[in-house]
Chains A and B, each alone.
Chain A
Amino acid sequence: MDDPLVIGDRQYASRLIMGTGGAANLAVLERALRASGTELTTVSIRRVDTSGGSGVLEVLERLGIDPLPNTAGCRTAAEAVLTARLAREALGTSWVKLEVIADDRTLLPDPVELLEAAETLVADGFTVLPYTNDDPVLALRLEELGCAAVMPLGSPIGTGLGIRNPHNIELIVARAGVPVVLDAGIGTASEAALAMELGCAAVMLATAVTRATDPAAMAAAMRHGVAAGRLAHGAGRVPQRFWAQASSPPR
Chain B
Amino acid sequence: MWIKVNGTEREVPDNATVAEMLAALGVPCRGVAVAVDGTVVARTEHERTVVPDGAEVEVLTAVQGG
Binding site for B on A (CB under 8 A): 19-23, 26, 29, 42-48, 50, 52-54, 56-57, 67-70, 72, 82, 85-92, 97, 99, 206
Contact = CB atoms under 8 A, between A and B. Distances in A.
A86 B66 contact: no
Contact of B62 (A29, A57, A82): A57
B64 A23 contact: yes
Nearest to A183: B66
A-side interface mostly: mixed
Contact of B60 (A56, A68, A86, A97): A86
Contacts of B32: 48, 53, 90
A48 B6 contact: yes
Contact-residue size bin, chain B (C-beta under 8 Å from the other chain): 20 to 34
A47 B64 contact: no
Shortest 7 CB-CB contacts between residues of A and residues of B:
A44-B65, A42-B66, A90-B33, A89-B33, A86-B33, A19-B66, A43-B62
Interface in B4-27: 6-7, 25-27
Given A45-B60, A47-B60, A52-B27, A89 B34 contact: yes
Nearest to A47: B6
B66 A44 contact: yes
Contacts of B38: 82
Interface string B31-63: 111110010111100000000000000111111
27 contacts: A20-B64, A20-B65, A22-B64, A42-B66, A43-B64, A44-B63, A44-B64, A44-B66, A45-B33, A47-B60, A48-B27, A50-B27, A52-B27, A56-B63, A57-B62, A70-B66, A72-B66, A82-B38, A85-B40, A86-B60, A87-B33, A89-B41, A89-B42, A90-B60, A90-B61, A91-B31, A99-B66
